[in-house]
Amino acid sequence: MGHNLNYNEKTGRYSFFSVKEKAWHNLGQVVTDYPTSQEAIKHAGLDYEVVKSPLFTNSIETLQATTDLTAGEPVTVPNYFANVRSDNNTVLGVVGKDYHIVQNRDAFAFFDAIVGGEDGILYETAGALGNGERIFITAKLPDYIRVGNGDDVTEKYIFLTTSHDGSGSITAAFTPVRIVCRNTLNAALKNMTNVVRIKHTSGAKQRLENAHKVMGMANTLSSQLENIFNEWATVRVKDEEVKKLIQLALCPNKETYDLLKKGAEDELSTAFKNMVEDAFAYAMVNDTQQMDTTKGTLFGAYNAVTGYYQNVRKYKDEEAKLQSIVMGGTAQTRAQKAFELCSGFAKNDSGVFTLN
């Protein structure tokens, strides 16, 4: 069979679902309405757990003495485990001791973290291949979710694929392709943009839940936060004040702060000055902002700091970017500082950033 879909003998169903359109050689379940993540997991036959089980082999003496692999005392294979599907005891692959399982339900946590509630993510397709060792999920974003620097993603899909056999990282990305067969899965993998790869290591689940932020997807803002940002978008700020906010928000240490306080900009490190210039340049270009006409506003100044770390700064890899932006790293602390500075500016009648 060329489809490679997992067939579940217990349920008598193929592990695949699709909204409205028949797909994948007309196999799997077709549903008329967009399901919740819990429904999608069941429709796609992904409602199984994966467990790490010890590996055993026969002793050398037994192996040398007989071809009967069931004879003799079993010996534990150190530092390696079998990933076993708990519903039918199928071995999906062999992994090392540091490998952390990301359950199928955890993979959906990435999508559900983007937006919760009734009007959430639109699950399009999902399924499992082989014995269930590889899974994939594709979804559409609701129209009100903004992505990165304003790219039109209404006809793009967001997808995630991961494996339980130790063969690769968890991969999340945008693609123009709706995954409906193995060919389109391969096409999606070739046409990925804004890719995040997460290794199956400790903390993978939390990284997965936060990965959408690294991909530039803004959550629906709480009404309170949205009101604040809308207000900031109406507050005009002079270029020199924007630059000052950026300097203060990006300030790495007391030495740099003291130089800023003295006005000794010539003595600032080249690395710091370059960072400020890059963020300032980001603030000065309208089409890199997530809201219209924010150039020269307080929101534009705030967004310069968050946008610099998200879209400008270079990272060693996606893990490092994730750590910085959403796992309590530098970018997260700088964004919080920028928020505090802007809040102070909005309350300050003089409309000037002051060094306290």
Q: Which of 188, 214, 240 is the last residue before a domain boundary? A: 214
* Residue 90 forms part of a structural domain: no
Parent domain of 249: 223-347
pLDDT digits (tens, 9 = 90+) for 67-106: 555 555 677 888 889 999 998 889 999 999 899 999 999 9
pLDDT digits (tens, 9 = 90+) for 92-141: 999 998 999 999 999 988 888 876 555 678 888 899 988 999 999 988 87
* Residue 78 forms part of a structural domain: no
Compute φ and ψ for 150, nearest 5 degrees: 90, 10
* Residue 177 forms part of a structural domain: yes
Domain total for the chain? 2
Which pLDDT does position 149 carry in this prediction?
Answer: 47
Are 275 and 310 part of one and the same domain? yes
Are 235 and 195 part of one and the same domain? no
Which pLDDT does position 21 carry in this prediction?
Answer: 72
Q: What is the Cβ-side half-sphere exposure of residue 346, based on CA atoms within 13 angstroms?
A: 20
Which pLDDT does position 2 carry in this prediction?
Answer: 52
Are 17 and 38 part of one and the same domain? yes
Are 13 and 122 part of one and the same domain? yes
Are 210 and 227 part of one and the same domain? no
CA torsion sign, 303 to 309 to 314 to 317? negative
Q: What does the alpha-carbon distance between residue 79 and residue 66 come to, in Å, rounded to a whole number? A: 26
Q: Which of 190, 214, 238 is the last residue before a domain boundary? A: 214
Tell me whether residue 22 is exposed, middle or buried, using C-beta atoms within 10 angstroms of its C-beta: 0 to 12, 13 to 18, 19 or more: exposed
Are 253 and 138 part of one and the same domain? no
Which pLDDT does position 290 carry in this prediction?
Answer: 46
Provide Rg for the chain, Cα atoms: 25
* Residue 353 forms part of a structural domain: no
- Regions of the chain where pLDDT drops below 70: 1-3, 22-26, 58-73, 115-119, 143-155, 218-225, 285-293, 326-328, 348-356
What is the DSSP secondary-structure string of 61-99?
A: HHHHH-S-TTSS-EEEEEEEEEEEETTTTEEEEEEETT-
Sheet holding 90-96, edge to edge: 50-58, 74-85, 90-96
Are 325 and 232 part of one and the same domain? yes
Which pLDDT does position 154 carry in this prediction?
Answer: 44
Q: Which of 155, 184, 214 is the last residue before a domain boundary? A: 214
* Residue 72 forms part of a structural domain: no
Q: Which helix (H) or strand (E) holds 60?
A: helix 60-65
* Residue 88 forms part of a structural domain: no
Retrieve residue 322's tokens.
């994730």
Are 267 and 292 part of one and the same domain? yes
Are 271 and 317 part of one and the same domain? yes
Are 259 and 337 part of one and the same domain? yes
* Residue 92 forms part of a structural domain: no
Tell me whether residue 214 is exposed, middle or buried, using C-beta atoms within 10 angstroms of its C-beta: 0 to 12, 13 to 18, 19 or more: buried
200, 311 in Cβ contact below 8 A?
no
Which pLDDT does position 236 carry in this prediction?
Answer: 84
* Helices 104-114 and 204-214, axial angle in degrees (round to 10): 30
Are 258 and 275 part of one and the same domain? yes
* Residue 239 forms part of a structural domain: yes
Which pLDDT does position 218 carry in this prediction?
Answer: 58
Are 258 and 298 part of one and the same domain? yes
Which pLDDT does position 60 carry in this prediction?
Answer: 58
